[in-house]
Structure 1
């Protein structure tokens, strides 16, 4: 039997308002992440938000890392005060995911950041964010869709010869969109590999790694409707499977 690579998926905490324990905290990720990994050749493993000092040991046990969506990144991490339209933050999760990234880079395993995960990558490397779309001066299309998650609502253009281009072998992709914050500045260690028609960053990567990618959209929600979404997970898992 061929051993499948283990892909760790960073989780969050939700307060369950139903059942016999209303307000009880539960560690979770949306099941789409699990399906996206398992359906494309990997073994999904949820990584609950934990003390940052545990990250190195956790990364030692996995072959690839996905940073999932969720709360806003704490603006203190990129030198700003919290503005009026910033959403809920989870500083302990930021610290844990920064530590996961540091350990993943040291081990040189493939990394995929999704939505918040892409923003975490950008901030970890020294970039900044718009705390809300309304703080961007330029015209901006809708980036929080009103349709069901598997329905794409806008197109992104993909940079030629980028990792994303080589992965899906297309110069554009139809994607969904569920974010109110945007990438503002990108550090020199990352390259922009996907943008919308309004110039918003939708994908960024580090070309010095075989697979190190952040996407602002949610490919895990598109696996049943957009084949290119599966190709992203397939490439991550293919790289993770290498010795």
Structure 2
């Protein structure tokens, strides 16, 4: 039996339902893991059990993060926020980091990872500046639309082979100040941070693109989930 990977979910606040695109769970299964969808909780006992039971966690994509978590007032460009999801994911992320367990943050999830560890984000990358790249693509979700440059010597380079990778893009927020202990592992040509990681832990990786929608057509993106599952199988000890 493979390692159990928890996945955070989006929240239909009007109908009080959680949901998650099946691309995420299928990617975990294809990588050899067992996906488990996580409902929101503010119960300390539940958090402790999750850390003891789960072998790794994926912080998935979704709505904007409440800027209160990085001591800012909301800008006019800040979109929909989900207070329950924010509180749950911040606490869950901090506990997993403290335990040294594998974490993969995807899109919003990378931003949550950075904020929970003490960094912050741009509430809107287009406010006050003219970016040269479209980061909210008008193309199918599986289609890669711009390049990123992977930083040499990073875990992301070991996983993907490094160099330039063409990715999909669905965001208007992005990592600004990097959290203490983290490094940048990839950027787009206009300087937007596209990857972060924490080198003192075996597997703590954030990526701005959505590999869960790309891996069925390009197995390079499945390798990210495979690396997470390998690390989770060892409770954090990723093989080189």
Superposed displacement of residue 188, structure 1: 3.1
Q: How does 1:51-90 map to 2 (within 5 A)?
A: 51=42, 53=44, 54-90=46-82
Structure 1 residue 233 and structure 2 residue 228: aligned?
no
Distance (Å, rounded) in 1 between the aligned partners of 2:225 and 2:12: 25
- For these two proteins, the number of residue pairs brought into alignment is 234
- Per the alignment, residue 102 of structure 2 pairs with 110
- Per the alignment, residue 41 of structure 2 pairs with 50
Contact 1:139 1:198 in 2 (8 A): yes
The match for 2:87 among 95, 100, 112 is 95
The match for 1:123 among 115, 122, 145 is 115
Distance (Å, rounded) in 1 between the aligned partners of 2:224 and 2:54: 18
Matched residue of 2:126: which SS? helix
Superposed displacement of residue 138, structure 1: 5.1
The match for 1:203 among 195, 214, 218 is 195
Distance (Å, rounded) in 2 between the aligned partners of 1:88 and 1:52: 25
Distance (Å, rounded) in 2 between the aligned partners of 1:161 and 1:138: 31
TM-score w.r.t. the length of structure 2 is 0.93
The match for 1:9 among 7, 10, 23 is 7
Distance (Å, rounded) in 2 between the aligned partners of 1:223 and 1:11: 20
Structure 1 residue 28 and structure 2 residue 26: aligned?
no
Q: Which moved more, 1:179-188 or 1:196-205?
A: 179-188
Distance (Å, rounded) in 1 between the aligned partners of 2:34 and 2:74: 38
Distance (Å, rounded) in 2 between the aligned partners of 1:164 and 1:59: 24
Matched residue of 1:106: which SS? helix
Matched residue of 1:133: which SS? coil
Q: How does 1:184-199 map to 2 (within 5 A)?
A: 184-199=176-191
Distance (Å, rounded) in 1 between the aligned partners of 2:194 and 2:215: 18
Superposed displacement of residue 62, structure 1: 0.7
Contact 2:102 2:231 in 1 (8 A): yes
Distance (Å, rounded) in 1 between the aligned partners of 2:169 and 2:161: 21
- Per the alignment, residue 146 of structure 1 pairs with 138
Moved beyond 4 Å, runs of 4+: none
Structure 2, unaligned stretches of length 5 or more?
236-240
Distance (Å, rounded) in 1 between the aligned partners of 2:128 and 2:70: 17
Distance (Å, rounded) in 2 between the aligned partners of 1:139 and 1:152: 18
- Per the alignment, residue 159 of structure 1 pairs with 151
Matched residue of 2:84: which SS? helix
Contact 2:105 2:206 in 1 (8 A): yes
Superposed displacement of residue 136, structure 1: 5.0
